[in-house]
Amino acid sequence: MPTTKRVTLAQRPTGMPDDDTWSIEEVELPPLGDGEFLVKTDHISLDPAMRGWLNDVRSYLPPVQIGEVMRATVTGTVVESRHPDFAVGEAVSGMLGVTELAVTDGEGVQKIDISVAGPATWLGALGMPGLTAYHGLHEVGEISAGDTVVISAAAGAVGSVAGQIAKAKGCTVIGIAGGPEKCAWLKEIGFDEAIDYKSENVLKALRTAAPDGIDVFFDNVGGDILDAGLANLRRGARVVICGAVSTYNDEKLAPGPSRYMALLVFRAKMQGFLVFDYPDKDAAAIEDMSSMIRSGDLVARETVVEGGVEDFGRTLLGLFRGENIGKLVLKIA
């Protein structure tokens, strides 16, 4: 039987994960049973949510357990099959973990059309990040033409897609990102304004960029950035809580927003959501975003790091250091 190299959780990190967090194992896979197939991984998704999965706390998914294969969405190719619906040679995507080869019964695995976009894009704009952007804007943000939309972590996998969707729907879009390179790229892909949180006072810059206030604040960051958004709302605003990457590696519980009373003053609402909340809307969203890619209204960008599964931990750290533009993906050489 084939063997596979995989990454398992060796110990729970305090603060930023390090080399001691992970164990690299090589194991022999069992023979396929009826209804199973074998997938050879080619790309692994790196996502901010991974840090939360390492904590032994109650959440929307159970934590990764010590000794378990690290949870991750991947793309790959079916190389052996005893499943009637998955044939050898087909490209697929699913949460199969940080491993070179995976045996699966097909639960949660989807076929992907790599003639529409490459595998890395199916982990980004056409994968969970893209669906997160799409559902967050439409179902929670309730965007409409003419809205002023502000997006934090705007040069990341979710934020860059969200901004382009909002622009295509007729909104004025302001992005918050770190550094001149990222801000310049946001302007290239159609953002009306880009605020560099590393060199600008975000609260003041938002007041200049959105003098009449913000209709939709799509937040991926939390902390001071969320407070700056709350301070600049317009009546009836919608604050979409997608993530809080600025706090994920904090060793102590981060304080809540200090400007939450703006929700009362401006009769606004703040709501969290997960991409898993709207499964019946996924197919239409992917079709819409695929059409936007074909028309040029949506630019899908990935930062692709080439290596092996043993490079997963190092690559994940790059995500929290802000080294990526667009979706961060590990390509298995």
* Confidence tier at 109 by pLDDT (50, 70, 90): very high
**What is the pLDDT at residue 138?**
98
Distance between CA atoms of residues 103 and 40, nearest Å: 9
**What is the pLDDT at residue 252?**
79
287, burial (CB in 10 Å: exposed 0-12, middle 13-18, buried 19+): exposed
Distance between CA atoms of residues 9 and 247, nearest Å: 21
Which positions ≥6 away from 235 have C-beta within 8 Å?
213, 266, 267, 268
* Confidence tier at 198 by pLDDT (50, 70, 90): very high
Q: Is the pLDDT of residue 247 over 90?
A: no
Average pLDDT over residues 124-147: 98
**What is the pLDDT at residue 249?**
81
Distance between CA atoms of residues 224 and 133, nearest Å: 22
Which positions ≥6 away from 85 have C-beta within 8 Å?
106
Contact 93, 122 (CB under 8 A): yes
Q: Which residue from 76, 72, 100 is spatially nearest to 88, judged by alpha carbons?
A: 76
Distance between CA atoms of residues 328 and 170, nearest Å: 28
> Could you give the dihedral angle defined by the CA atoms of residues 302, 307, 309 and 311, in that order, rounded to the nearest 10 degrees?
-90
Q: Is the pLDDT of residue 246 over 90?
A: no
Contact 188, 162 (CB under 8 A): no
Q: Which residue from 273, 216, 207, 219 is spatially nearest to 246, judged by alpha carbons?
A: 219
Q: Is the pLDDT of residue 250 over 90?
A: no
175 bridge partner residues: 151, 194
**What is the pLDDT at residue 191?**
98
Distance between CA atoms of residues 308 and 310, nearest Å: 5
Contact 113, 66 (CB under 8 A): no
Which residue segments constitute the domains of the chain, with CATH numbers given? 3-124+301-332 (3.90.180.10), 129-276 (3.40.50.720)
Average pLDDT over residues 142-163: 98
**What is the pLDDT at residue 254?**
76
Containing 152, the helix (H) or strand (E) segment is strand 148-152
Which positions ≥6 away from 146 have C-beta within 8 Å?
170, 171, 172
111 bridge partner residues: 92
pLDDT, tens only, 212-226:
999 999 999 999 999
> Could you give the dihedral angle defined by the CA atoms of residues 229, 234, 239 and 244, in that order, rounded to the nearest 10 degrees?
0
- Stated pTM of the model: 0.94
Average pLDDT taken over every residue of the chain: 96
pLDDT, tens only, 132-143:
999 999 999 999
Contact 296, 323 (CB under 8 A): no
Distance between CA atoms of residues 321 and 251, nearest Å: 17
pLDDT, tens only, 284-319:
999 999 999 999 999 999 999 999 999 999 999 999
